[in-house]
Structure formats: structure tokens, C-alpha cells
Structure 1
């Protein structure tokens, strides 16, 4: 799916590839992509869901840890390039959501595609995280980023 096709419903944010992201050859070192993905999720929560990680973790004692991640690297990215990062929701359940991430470079060339499953948790008994229902305000916001083929499950 091209950048133009996802723009209507996806959260899109550019990122300049910096020296800190690269190996000595000037190519993005693959573990840095996982940091870039997490940064995108954190920005989406703050800007798209109106719940920053600071507020989520420190004030509300909850979080959205990654339960599963699958990633495909399609082409290298290089120092100095600007990548377009897009995030869309493919599934929203009672306490979890599945996100599709795509990084593209020049000419909309796919560099990376990832699928993440995040689970909403709060401190439970003994301070251990326990799944919770997605908060209503965030559920309403999440739906705005749903892909056309997404599955949105009701709260039950």
C-alpha cells in the first residue's frame, strides 16, 4: 500500500536517519529500527491518542507493552535520508491492538514492514502488570487510525 493510500487513516511521521542510527557503512543498523518503531508508537500515543507515555506510565500507572513483533526488512536505509513512518491499526480487541508499521524512503520504496501486538496493562496485585480494557477515550481515538480491512471488536 502506498503512502498516499494509508494517509487517510494512518498516523504518519517523518524521521531523518541520523549517524546514531547507522553502522560504520552509513546503513541503518537493524536494532535501531526497533527503537524507531517504539518512538513512532510513543508519538502516536501522545499525538494521536492524546495520552503521552509520561502520563500513561507515571500518572495512570498503565502501559502498552509489546507482546509480539514481526518485522521484514525490504531495503536498506542510509544516513541523511528521511523516512516516512506510518502506523495503522489492523485489529482492536478488548485489551490489545495490532498495529501495522511501514517505513518508506525515496519514491515510496518500502524499507521495513512490521506488525506489533500491544496489550494495555495496569499495575495489578503486587504491582505486577495485568491486562485491562482499552480506556474509552483512547479506544475512540484508536478507531480513527483503523485500516479499511481492520477488525474492531466491541467491549464485552
Structure 2
């Protein structure tokens, strides 16, 4: 089994609503940033290379999210992504955002698909990407995702 990709993120003013807590749609933007960073730094292929060189995209086709506790301006969250299922052309990702106290504030499950940009059809993961994704494959229970 692999390990999750973890990146700290500081909650900024732009993430917050007038009550001073993260406005929930901003978490989806943070998730997308995390996945993009993971592809570049964890899997070794940037979104720019995927799109501009390989002609592929990674749309999210399903998203489920649970918000357990608020995050506030200045909080630093440990943002983690791991693969809990790897299909022929899809991957189910478990994402969690935890505060400095270790308590998970947001849990999400995303399904992404490798897509050919020209045909807009799903295509199988190339072997090198499948192998890289497999390095982040974890047991759902060990990753604390509900």
C-alpha cells in the first residue's frame, strides 16, 4: 500500500465569507489545486503537460463531500489526497483537510477520469501513470475516510 500526498495550505482572506470561515465552494477549488499539485509533484506530470503535450484532461465526474468543522482565516490545513480505487480510465480519490490539531475538517471522495481532449472520451491510463497512481493507493479505512 502507498501513502497519501500531503500539502499544507494556508487559509487566505479570499477563501472566507463575511463570517470569517471558509465558504464551502472554496474547498472544491482547494481540492482542485491539491489534485493539480499532486499530478505535478507526486505523479510527475503537470496539467500543462497533460493538456498541451499529451492532449488529455482529468475531469472530475463525481464529487462527495462532508464538512465536519469550520476553517478560519490564517488556519494551516494539511491537505491529503490518496487513491482508494484505480480503474481502467478512472481513479477514486480520497481527500481530507485536517487542522493543526489533527482533526479532519473536510472529507471528500472524487472520481476523476483520464479523457482524450479531442474525442472527449475516456481513455485507459498509460502504464507509467497507472504505476505512479498505484504508489498512492491506500486502504480506505486506513485513510480515515467515511
Query: TM-score, normalising length from structure 2?
Result: 0.92
Secondary structure of the residue aligned to 1:31 is: helix
Q: Deviations over 1:57-95 (max 9, x none)?
A: 111110110000000000000000100001110000100
1:101 alignment partner, one of 86, 95, 100: 95
Runs of 4+ in structure 1 off by over 2 angstroms are none
Please state how far the C-alpha of 1:136 moved relative to its aligned partner.
Answer: 1.1
Please state how far the C-alpha of 1:106 moved relative to its aligned partner.
Answer: 2.4
Name 1:144's counterpart in structure 2.
135
Which runs of no fewer than 5 residues in structure 2 stay unpaired? 142-146
Question: In structure 1, what is the Cα distance between the partners aligned to 2:8 and 2:20?
Answer: 19
Which runs of no fewer than 5 residues in structure 1 stay unpaired? 1-7, 151-156
Please state how far the C-alpha of 1:107 moved relative to its aligned partner.
Answer: 1.1
Which runs of structure 2 are paired with 1:72-151 in the superposition (5 Å)? 72-123=66-117, 127-148=118-139
Please state how far the C-alpha of 1:26 moved relative to its aligned partner.
Answer: 1.3
Question: In structure 1, what is the Cα distance between the partners aligned to 2:139 and 2:109?
Answer: 16
Question: In structure 1, what is the Cα distance between the partners aligned to 2:37 and 2:127?
Answer: 19
- Aligned residues: CA RMSD: 1.3
| Number of aligned positions between the proteins | 140
Name 1:154's counterpart in structure 2.
none
Query: TM-score, normalising length from structure 1?
Result: 0.86
Higher-Rg structure is: 1
